Chain A
């Protein structure tokens, strides 16, 4: 039985801890974090640089393994899944938007959007990719390479790539960090518009409190603890 159709919970983290062993001794990034994110919710995680926001993101996305505690995504306990099952989960349900866009430089905009569709074996990846580029206003620039696009346009390609697989969970890690204010605003508008349209659960990592205000819920990661703001 598919648990995802039953549960309103998208992510559930229990007693999540992460520490690193360094030459100088153990460094605890955070300990005992509990978090529940409901389906369709938008959540901002704010905090200073080095607070561990990105590590938390990779734990919640099942990209990293916690030192202790557990994470469930859409009812699947991450620690019980092997590499392939995790990959499958990511392919079906999760998307990312990065600060540095992370487009493959030798692929056109269209092929970049196509990549996750090909990974999940979509039926008509080229058509879907073209549609999503149209959606973000880049329908005329499908054959352009990343180096031929501005920063804002590259991030729009990344947004199209993120939504193309119709994910139920989207992680955005400082999505405007590399953009000027005005472009950043346009990008965020587009992101929230599509998010609302698709009913995607959004987890946004930022240190921009104005941007965080646009999310339904805000959490601050500080001194290893996560508190509601």
Chain B
């Protein structure tokens, strides 16, 4: 080995014993581990679930629509020389026909034509010869077998039909997107669909046309279809589809990455402080090496080699730890994910080490550059050369570059940027507030206690470190408390806020001819519910003219314009709506009238007397706004933006919707209802919420792990800051003892300082956690915030214990005879 790397290796070896290098190594290791883990997870989820491109889509191009596919369009595509097949997917309840005990289960039904799929393959257990179940058969995922306690060969009930389960679905492409893709899936042949009666006109379903062909054909087809898409249609292709954004898993991953941002920032800060300390200690050595004949460039290379050697070892270590954590997370997720995740791409393994390298180089370059340029005269004068403007500029640009890299890595720049800004502003603010409180607290102490007077000076002496330490600890404790509480609290509080009579079942897709029978069933069983018709229509006119040109750009983005609305009609005002303005029709008026929801009125700037026009299945319907309603959207009852007076919409095809509450024993009525009306779609809200709860819990577990690593980062950073101040503290203690303080006095002073610092930080963290939680309650859940008194005890106790323990673990007692020697040694 040539001289420079050898020198670097030796230097590194001897510095491994110093605390700044240990902290630096630990922080870099955690950063590499976290980055690798998150990239691995992201990569595998993307590839495995969402973007295994052709395989996942089941085709090269998919036309997805919330209405049955247009026949003309189908005919036009059929003339092109591409392979096509049709799929319908919808939510439905299935049950075990042999048991009245097991409650029905909400699943996602996929009914497909052969050939299916066009790309990728379906894996079943036992292995099947064909790609689709035969008529009368169904393939189901393991979760269905488990929950309904069924086995291969058993029958299941879907609508009016029974299906024999011929295989377990292990993995399959074309799972659909969004919540559909996460519900347990059932695959049947499309030719069985009509007989089951579950899908009637107007039913909620996703209709897909799968297409496959040569890249040129697909590109041509895509170009042709794209401009003709209706607003209820969407094209999914390898190029266009970015399914990771805007779905549950994508959000979960983004959330985890944001949680990791804190850990990465703490690591970066630790590395920055450690390197700064390292370079301060190296000035003399560098000056000596330069004096002995090395040039600046050689010196720079020695330090660079040193960083690179450390990075190489950490990269290997980080990869190993990321791999083991990855398998742990996969274990948690495996029960939730519909299929086995594929292995990560080799490139994904590189991200962690790459980010680690970028961190080390960007944070390391400024200090080692100034080390390589230290004047030899430093040996004589012994002073630290002042930082020139260029060096400071370099340091700032490096830190900015690093921030940019982190944002790019997180791939959610806006959210990350907001979080980054919040953390920075919050940190600075907490630092200063903590310091101000400490100073105020010290004043009365100083008037009463001799130690208080010393404390006042100590607080001044340590103020910079106190600011940094309190900022980090307050933010960490806030994060900890918020995650801890929201994990347990949020969902249960959200559920608890609903009145006890809140419906827990929705029935949708009720056909008009089923209405009276269903009504009788409800009455016979004393189920309190009201049926509402539902017709889809698009708002397109205001006062007889197209609405869009009459609105501001802001209003154009309103939800009510972006999609078709569910319209309804009723003679009487729904009981759970409040009439805010205008008057409700008492009978069928001559001209159609409408009642509009309050927010929609405000958002679109509408007023009573305005006329709104709707496109309903290609026909125009106009009506005058005669009343404004207040609607509680989270009431779990059918709610509508627009309700028509009777007589206006009856001629259009509609389905009906209702909701009701069943408890305890009466829940079996849901099963009975489904047996009597097999084609209805019954949505069990409790089931949905418990699915959501499982997700939140898993997410909580995964984020707890990231949070755990964040905490470790925070603790290392705290240890580094305490260590950095340690020598200064020892010097201060030596001086104080020489000036007349006793060893016991300095020990008590330390204890008082750490206790107070911990208390103040804990209280501030309690306050900031309560505020954050209150914000979450109000903004996310619309629940009145409540206080968590135990936080105000636990957090100060935790943080005081932390400061006192760390402080006293790191503190080495100073004997009197060492004091003077220590002071002399610094002469």
A128 to chain B, nearest CB (A): 13
Roughly how many angstroms separate A84 CA and B816 CA in the complex, as a whole number? 11
B737 interface neighbour in A87, A95, A114, Cβ under 8 Å: A87
A86-104: CB near B (< 8 Å → 1, else 0) gives 1110111011101110101
Residue of A nearest to B736 (CB): A119
Contacts A83-B744, A90-B739, A111-B460: A64 and B450 contacting too (C-beta < 8 A)?
no
Residues on B with beta carbons closer than 8 Å to the beta carbon of A91: 739-741
Residue of A nearest to B454 (CB): A118
Asked whether, in the complex, the Cβ of B735 is within 8 Å of the Cβ of A104, the reply is yes
Asked whether, in the complex, the Cβ of A65 is within 8 Å of the Cβ of B817, the reply is yes
Contacts A54-B824, A106-B460, A106-B461: A84 and B817 contacting too (C-beta < 8 A)?
no
Roughly how many angstroms separate A119 CA and B826 CA in the complex, as a whole number? 23
Roughly how many angstroms separate A226 CA and B826 CA in the complex, as a whole number? 26
Interface residue range, chain B:
20 to 34
A29 within 8 A of B: no
Roughly how many angstroms separate A96 CA and B734 CA in the complex, as a whole number? 12
Roughly how many angstroms separate A88 CA and B743 CA in the complex, as a whole number? 11
B732 within 8 A of A: yes
Asked whether, in the complex, the Cβ of A83 is within 8 Å of the Cβ of B743, the reply is yes
Asked whether, in the complex, the Cβ of B823 is within 8 Å of the Cβ of A119, the reply is no
Roughly how many angstroms separate A111 CA and B740 CA in the complex, as a whole number? 16
Residue of A nearest to B738 (CB): A96
Asked whether, in the complex, the Cβ of B740 is within 8 Å of the Cβ of A63, the reply is no
Residue of A nearest to B737 (CB): A87
Kindly identify, within residues 100 to 134 of chain A, every residue whose CB is under 8 Å from any CB belonging to chain B: 100, 102, 104-107, 111, 114-116, 118-121, 125
Residues on B with beta carbons closer than 8 Å to the beta carbon of A116: 739-740
A174 within 8 A of B: yes
A112 to chain B, nearest CB (A): 9
Contacts A84-B742, A100-B826, A100-B827: A63 and B462 contacting too (C-beta < 8 A)?
no
Asked whether, in the complex, the Cβ of A102 is within 8 Å of the Cβ of B826, the reply is yes
A136-151: CB near B (< 8 Å → 1, else 0) gives 0000000000000000
Asked whether, in the complex, the Cβ of B820 is within 8 Å of the Cβ of A115, the reply is no
Residue of B nearest to A108 (CB): B460
A174 interface neighbour in B460, B463, B819, B827, Cβ under 8 Å: B827
Residue of B nearest to A98 (CB): B823
Residues on A with beta carbons closer than 8 Å to the beta carbon of B741: 87, 91, 119
B699 to chain A, nearest CB (A): 44
Asked whether, in the complex, the Cβ of A121 is within 8 Å of the Cβ of B742, the reply is no
Roughly how many angstroms separate A94 CA and B737 CA in the complex, as a whole number? 12
A153 within 8 A of B: no
B422 within 8 A of A: no
A107 interface neighbour in B453, B457, B740, B819, Cβ under 8 Å: B457
Asked whether, in the complex, the Cβ of B817 is within 8 Å of the Cβ of A63, the reply is yes
Roughly how many angstroms separate A177 CA and B270 CA in the complex, as a whole number? 38
Residue of B nearest to A173 (CB): B824
Asked whether, in the complex, the Cβ of B827 is within 8 Å of the Cβ of A177, the reply is yes
Residues on B with beta carbons closer than 8 Å to the beta carbon of A95: 739
Residues on A with beta carbons closer than 8 Å to the beta carbon of B462: 106
Residues on A with beta carbons closer than 8 Å to the beta carbon of B819: 63
A58 within 8 A of B: yes
Residues on B with beta carbons closer than 8 Å to the beta carbon of A119: 454, 736, 739-741, 745
B818 to chain A, nearest CB (A): 9
Roughly how many angstroms separate A118 CA and B464 CA in the complex, as a whole number? 22
Residue of A nearest to B465 (CB): A106
Asked whether, in the complex, the Cβ of B461 is within 8 Å of the Cβ of A83, the reply is no
Asked whether, in the complex, the Cβ of B735 is within 8 Å of the Cβ of A63, the reply is no
Asked whether, in the complex, the Cβ of A83 is within 8 Å of the Cβ of B742, the reply is yes
Roughly how many angstroms separate A175 CA and B464 CA in the complex, as a whole number? 30
Roughly how many angstroms separate A107 CA and B456 CA in the complex, as a whole number? 11
Contacts A63-B817, A83-B816, A115-B457: A102 and B823 contacting too (C-beta < 8 A)?
yes
Asked whether, in the complex, the Cβ of B745 is within 8 Å of the Cβ of A87, the reply is yes
B819 to chain A, nearest CB (A): 6
Asked whether, in the complex, the Cβ of A106 is within 8 Å of the Cβ of B738, the reply is no
Roughly how many angstroms separate A92 CA and B740 CA in the complex, as a whole number? 8
B590 to chain A, nearest CB (A): 85
Asked whether, in the complex, the Cβ of B463 is within 8 Å of the Cβ of A102, the reply is no
Residue of B nearest to A112 (CB): B457
B304 to chain A, nearest CB (A): 31
Roughly how many angstroms separate A83 CA and B462 CA in the complex, as a whole number? 26
Kindly identify, within residues 778 to 803 of chain B, every residue whose CB is under 8 Å from any CB belonging to chain A: none
Residues on B with beta carbons closer than 8 Å to the beta carbon of A58: 817, 820-821
Asked whether, in the complex, the Cβ of A102 is within 8 Å of the Cβ of B460, the reply is no
A158-186: CB near B (< 8 Å → 1, else 0) gives 00010001000000011001100000000
Asked whether, in the complex, the Cβ of A106 is within 8 Å of the Cβ of B453, the reply is no
Contacts A54-B820, A65-B817: A90 and B827 contacting too (C-beta < 8 A)?
no
Residues on A with beta carbons closer than 8 Å to the beta carbon of B450: 118, 121
Contacts A87-B741, A87-B742, A106-B460: A121 and B453 contacting too (C-beta < 8 A)?
yes
Residue of B nearest to A94 (CB): B740
Roughly how many angstroms separate A86 CA and B464 CA in the complex, as a whole number? 33
A71 to chain B, nearest CB (A): 13
Residue of B nearest to A96 (CB): B738
Residues on A with beta carbons closer than 8 Å to the beta carbon of B745: 87, 119
Asked whether, in the complex, the Cβ of B824 is within 8 Å of the Cβ of A107, the reply is no
B721-741: CB near A (< 8 Å → 1, else 0) gives 000000010011001111111
Residues on A with beta carbons closer than 8 Å to the beta carbon of B457: 107, 111, 114-115, 118
Asked whether, in the complex, the Cβ of B816 is within 8 Å of the Cβ of A64, the reply is yes
Roughly how many angstroms separate A86 CA and B741 CA in the complex, as a whole number? 9
Residues on A with beta carbons closer than 8 Å to the beta carbon of B827: 98-100, 174, 177-178
Roughly how many angstroms separate A125 CA and B457 CA in the complex, as a whole number? 12
Residues on B with beta carbons closer than 8 Å to the beta carbon of A87: 737, 740-743, 745
A68 to chain B, nearest CB (A): 15
Asked whether, in the complex, the Cβ of A104 is within 8 Å of the Cβ of B461, the reply is yes
Roughly how many angstroms separate A215 CA and B827 CA in the complex, as a whole number? 23
Residues on A with beta carbons closer than 8 Å to the beta carbon of B824: 54, 173
Contacts A83-B816, A121-B453: A107 and B743 contacting too (C-beta < 8 A)?
no
Roughly how many angstroms separate A83 CA and B746 CA in the complex, as a whole number? 12
Residue of A nearest to B816 (CB): A63
Residues on A with beta carbons closer than 8 Å to the beta carbon of B743: 83, 87
Asked whether, in the complex, the Cβ of B816 is within 8 Å of the Cβ of A86, the reply is yes
Residue of B nearest to A118 (CB): B453
Asked whether, in the complex, the Cβ of B740 is within 8 Å of the Cβ of A120, the reply is yes
Residues on A with beta carbons closer than 8 Å to the beta carbon of B454: 118-119
Asked whether, in the complex, the Cβ of B739 is within 8 Å of the Cβ of A96, the reply is yes
Roughly how many angstroms separate A8 CA and B144 CA in the complex, as a whole number? 101
Asked whether, in the complex, the Cβ of B823 is within 8 Å of the Cβ of A107, the reply is no
Residue of A nearest to B382 (CB): A178
Asked whether, in the complex, the Cβ of B817 is within 8 Å of the Cβ of A64, the reply is yes
Residue of B nearest to A101 (CB): B827
Residues on A with beta carbons closer than 8 Å to the beta carbon of B820: 54, 57-58, 61, 63-64
Name, among B450, B740, B743, the residue most crowded by chain A CB atoms within 10 Å (CB to CB). Answer: B740
A8 to chain B, nearest CB (A): 24
B466 to chain A, nearest CB (A): 11
Residues on A with beta carbons closer than 8 Å to the beta carbon of B821: 58
Residues on A with beta carbons closer than 8 Å to the beta carbon of B740: 87-88, 90-92, 94, 116, 119-120, 165
Residue of B nearest to A103 (CB): B735
A175 to chain B, nearest CB (A): 11
Kindly identify, within residues 751 to 770 of chain B, every residue whose CB is under 8 Å from any CB belonging to chain A: none
Beyond known contacts A58-B817, A87-B737, A118-B450: 15 more, CB 8 A cutoff: A65-B817, A83-B743, A86-B742, A87-B741, A90-B738, A90-B739, A91-B739, A94-B740, A102-B731, A102-B826, A105-B728, A106-B463, A119-B454, A119-B736, A119-B739
B residues contacting A by CB (< 8 A) are 450, 453-454, 456-457, 460-464, 728, 731-732, 735-745, 816-817, 819-821, 823-824, 826-827
Q: Top 3 closest A-B pairs, CB basis?
A: A91-B740, A87-B742, A90-B740
Q: Pick 8 A–B contacts, CB within 8 A, sort by A.
A: A58-B821, A83-B744, A87-B745, A99-B827, A100-B827, A102-B731, A107-B460, A165-B740
A residues contacting B by CB (< 8 A) are 54, 57-58, 61, 63-65, 83-84, 86-88, 90-92, 94-96, 98-100, 102, 104-107, 111, 114-116, 118-121, 125, 161, 165, 173-174, 177-178
